[in-house]
Structure 1
């Protein structure tokens, strides 16, 4: 596990708000930062909810620092935030973008009694990409490859990610995929799934696996027609926020 004694990039800081008895844990994606989830967090906080948007270890600093961390570090962070929210709130909803979606899916597998709903935005638990399949070998030959950040259709928007993808960290993320995929049937929470029709980072393999694999009694899938991968900052962001509000009001707690 890596201990960070580094400077966080301006705009990439964690976000937290204390509010009512309904809590939300929002997790950003690989090489991204809390900036990708902050508008969503601020929306929820304005509605009076308790919100946590942690900065995952190695993120919001440098890609070299991220290369010194692994999926257990990232998961430990969201796990601790869930424990904190459960101590404060009667109900907790977890949501994740991209790799953040994988992290919160694992929370739903490991701690089903602590999660009242699961919201996924372009999550990743697998990939058809040839370059990704080579990562377990490439990590021993190269420190990084070109970045995958800021796949956003809306002009002038920034998730404060990295311009390089650290390969040791990416290989670790793929190990997490192997841990999560066989246990999808352990996910029982109501599931709201958002998928961008045009996503240049995550292909549609994850959607097929997750929707076919979970045991959730309630599953809603929403297609995003005007966003790329980082949909939480894109043209469909308001749709994500509104559909989540409605889903939680219907399946978690009334009059939220």
Structure 2
């Protein structure tokens, strides 16, 4: 399945070659790499090797996303992980929203991952469950740009395909069932107020991963897209500290 629409400006994947420590940076559902670019650039400036893959069907058009499955999204991040493995001695993974879900998925499957940093990760989306098995409507209104900071906009789709909602529900359920397989170091960020993913998701993640070395940080001044919100500098500072401590 070839993608037919051009990739939007600022939605391109990014690759920065640096030192022997690699960081995989994963964007969220209906979003794009634009939401993770500030983190990617900060990690590059700190001397790390960075990969920010574009999830298949994202950063183009929502009709493209409609044709993709959660396995396609897994393939996208595994390709990025492989790119880092060929260049780095150790790898950390961070992701926002569904990017956080995919971060957890990778940690469940690849125990060699050194540490994970899920940000408002999704494992239980009750508001979306009413669309399980639904054929209509085909699209819902956008879920992007849940940002507290004034004047900041996320590059995300203006419509959400219902069949894509069904795909993220499958992914979330699978990841949720295997949280206890995660043993690597973990730094979990959770926004106190989030209008897309209930904060209880991060509480459950933190409680159920088997990592002995884990920390949870509450974000008091950001909504869902925290990587573009008021706590962006805090996230960057704390993640850099976490990574440097665990190298």
Q: TM-score range by the shorter chain?
A: over 0.9
Deviation at 1:247, TM superposition (A): 1.1
Partner of 1:156: 151
Deviation at 1:81, TM superposition (A): 1.0
Partner of 1:183: 178
Partner of 2:89: 90
Deviation at 1:172, TM superposition (A): 0.6
2:201 aligned residue (201, 206, 210): 206
Spell out, residue by residue over 1:29-48, the C-alpha distance to the aligned partner (whole angstroms, 9 max, x if none): 00000000001000010111
Which TM-score applies when normalising by structure 1? 0.94
Structure 1 distance, partners of 2:201, 2:110, is: 21
Structure 2 distance, partners of 1:192, 1:180, is: 17
Partner of 1:220: 215
Partner of 1:116: 114
Structure 1 distance, partners of 2:150, 2:132, is: 34
Unmatched tracts of structure 1, length 5 or more: none
Partner of 2:133: 137
Partner of 1:65: 64
Partner of 1:127: 125
Partner of 2:21: 22
Alignment root-mean-square deviation, CA:
1.0
Structure 2 distance, partners of 1:80, 1:217, is: 28
Unmatched tracts of structure 2, length 5 or more: none
Which TM-score applies when normalising by structure 2? 0.97
Partner of 2:100: 101
Checking the alignment, whether the CA contact within 8 Å between 2:193 and 2:199 is kept in structure 1 is no
Checking the alignment, whether the CA contact within 8 Å between 1:142 and 1:167 is kept in structure 2 is yes
Checking the alignment, whether the CA contact within 8 Å between 1:127 and 1:205 is kept in structure 2 is no
Partner of 2:231: 236
Following TM superposition, the consecutive aligned residue runs of length 4 or more in structure 1 with deviations greater than 2 angstroms are none
Size of the aligned set, in residue pairs, is 247
Spell out, residue by residue over 1:107-133, the C-alpha distance to the aligned partner (whole angstroms, 9 max, x if none): 0001112x100001000011232xx11
